Structure 1
Amino acid sequence: MKKLFVLLIFFFALATNANANENTTLSVSGHGIITAIPDIASIDISIISQSPDPAKAMFVLSKKANDVVKALFKLGIKKDNLSTTNLTLEPVYQYDDKTKTNNLAGYKAKETFNIKSSIDKMGFLISKVSELGIDEINRIYFESSNISNFKLKAIEKAMEDALLKAQSALINTGYQIIGIKNISITEKTPVPIYFDKFMLNKSSVPSMPIEAGRLNIEASVSVIYILEKK
C-alpha cells in the first residue's frame, strides 16, 4: 500500500511541474493481479417443513429453526456470523394423471441461513449439520478477510504495469514522462469459490476436508501521461 502511495505522489508531483499548456500525452492501460489464499468460509443452509396446513408448516419450521440456531451457537458459531437470508412459504402441487390437473397437495415452508466461519472450522461444521435437522446446503464459498489490502496491491501492480508499458513505448522517441494528466481505476470484484448445492440425509456425515483454492484479485488502470521532449 505504501508503494502505491509513493507512486501516486511521485507522478502527481511531476504533474504539478508540467507545463499547463503541454498537449503531448500518452494513454496506456495497466493490469494487476494478486493471488490470495481465502481464510473465510461461508455456507447457506436451508431448513424445510411441509404440511397440508400452511400455519402448521410455518409452526414446525419455526421450531426446527430455533433448535438449529441454538445448536449452532453451541458449536461455537457467533451471532454476528449467522443470519437469515431467505424465508418462504409456497404451495405444493401434485399432478393427477386421471384428471390431467395440478391439485394442491400442501405447503412448503423454507428458511435459509448464512453461516460464516474460519476455513479450519468449516469442515467440522459441515460434518455436524446433518445432525441438526438441516435439509440442504445450498452453497459453500470462500473469501478473504484481507480483501481491501489485496485490492490496493492489485492497483499498485496495475500502475507499475502501465508505467512499464509507457516507458517501453517511448524508447527511441525522444520523449520522456514528466507527469500524469489522468488516472482511471477499475476494480474487478473477486468471485467467491463455490461448491455445488447438495442435499443432506439424516445419517452421520464423516468429517469433510475443506480445500479453499485461491482467489484472484484484479485491478485495471487507464493512465494518461504527460510527455515532453528530452
Structure 2
Amino acid sequence: MRILPLVFSALLIASPAFAQDAPSVISVTGQGTIAAMPDMATISLGVATNGSTAREALDANSEAIAAVLSRLTASGIAEKDIQTSGLSLGPVYDYSSANEGRGPKLTGFQASNMVTVKVRALNELGALLDTTVGEGANTINGVFFGLEESDAKADEARLAAMADARRKAELLAEAADVRLGRIVSISEGGVAMPMGGMGAVAFERAAAPVPIAEGEVTVSASVSISWEIDQ
C-alpha cells in the first residue's frame, strides 16, 4: 500500500528537473514573397471535331490536330515542348426528347485531342495562339505563366522568409523584455511556385493577334524557426 505514495513522490521530485532541462523558446513562422516577370508560358490547346460516325469524327480530328502540330513546330516550338495531354472519342446525344418519354437520340460522335505546349518566347504568344486557331484549334484550356529558372527566385523567397521570422522574433523578445539566444530549430514550410493564368475558352480566329497581358508571377516561401530565450 505504500508503493503508490512513493511513486508519486518520485514524480514530483523529478518534474522540476525535467522542466529545467527544456529551454524556453520563442517560435515564429516567417513568410517571404518575391515578384518576377514571367519568362515562359504553358498553354493547353486542341481540336474538337464532330462526325456522323466515330471514324468520321476521329479522321477529321487527326487531320486538324496534325495541321496544328505542324504550325507549332513551324513557329519554332521544339518537339520536346509539345505533349499530348488528352484524347477522347465519344457519342453525342440529343436529350430534347427525354421529357416526351423517349430516350436520348444519338446524333453523332465527337473526337477531341489536346496538347500541352511550352512557349519560351512570350512576345510571340499572342500570334502563336492566333495562327494555331487558324489551323483548326478551337479549344484553349488555359494559359499559365511561369519561370524557366525558378531556383534563384525560390532562394530569394527563402531568405526573405528567414528575415521575416527574425523580425517577428525580435519584436516578441523586446515585448517580453528578453533576448534571443541561439537558434534551436529551423524547418521549411514549403515553396509555392507561380501558377497564374486564364481559364478555358473556345473561340474563332481573331482579326489580329490575341492580346496577352503577362503581368507578374510570385514565388513564396515559409520557414518556422525557434530561438532559445536568453535571460
CA distance in 2, matches of 1:163, 1:33: 16
Mapped to 1, the partners of 2:52 and 2:69 lie a distance apart of 26
Where do 1:185-196 residues align within 5 Å?
A: 185-196=188-199
Q: CA deviation at 1:55?
A: 2.4
Separation in 2, partners of 1:212, 1:38: 7
Matched, 1:199 2:194: no
Partner amino acid for 1:159?
M
Question: CA contact under 8 A between 2:71 and 2:131: conserved in structure 1?
Answer: no
Question: Which of 126, 129, 140 is matched with 2:129 structurally?
Answer: 126
After the TM superposition, which of the residue ranges 91-100 and 22-31 deviates more from structure 2?
91-100
Structure 1: where are the runs of 5+ without partners?
1-20
Alignment partners' CA distance in 2, 1:182 and 1:47? 53
Within the alignment, does 1:171 sit opposite 2:195 as a pair?
Answer: no
- Matched residue SS, 1:197: coil
Q: Does 1:110 align with 2:125?
A: no
Contact 1:38 1:215 in 2 (8 A): yes
Q: How many aligned positions are there?
A: 209
Native 8 Å contact 1:22 1:226 kept in 2: no
Task: Give the C-alpha shift of residue 124 in structure 1.
Answer: 1.6
Q: Which residue of 2 aligns with 1:5?
A: none
Give the corresponding residue for 1:72.
72
Equivalent pair of 1:130/1:205 in contact (CA under 8 Å): no
Answer whether contact 2:71 2:132 (CA < 8 A) is retained: no
Note the alpha carbon deviations across 1:104-151, whole angstroms, 9 max, x for none.
111111000111112111012122122111111121121112322212
CA distance in 1 between partners of 2:141 and 2:111 (Å): 16
Residues 193, 212 of structure 1: 8 Å contact kept: no
Distance in 2 (CA, whole Å) between partners of 1:37 and 1:129 is 25
Match status 1:208 vs 2:210: yes
Q: C-alpha displacement at 1:204, in angstroms?
A: 5.0
Change (3 A) 1:173 1:134: closer
Q: For residues 77 and 195 of structure 1, what CA distance do their matches in structure 2 show?
A: 21
Structure 2: unaligned runs, 5 residues or longer? 1-20
Residue number in structure 2 paired with 1:4: none
Normalised by the size of structure 2, how large is the TM-score? Answer: 0.82
SS at match of 1:157: helix
Is the radius of gyration larger for structure 1 or structure 2?
2
1:53 paired residue number: 53
Change (3 A) 1:96 1:164: closer
Cα deviation, residue 174, structure 1: 5.6
TM-score, normalised to structure 1, is: 0.82
Deviation, structure 1 residue 172 = 6.9
Cα shift at 1:187: 2.4
- Residue pair 2:190, 2:222 contacting (<8 A) in 1 also: yes
State the Cα RMSD in Å. Answer: 2.2
Identity value in percent = 24
What displacement does 1:87 show?
0.5
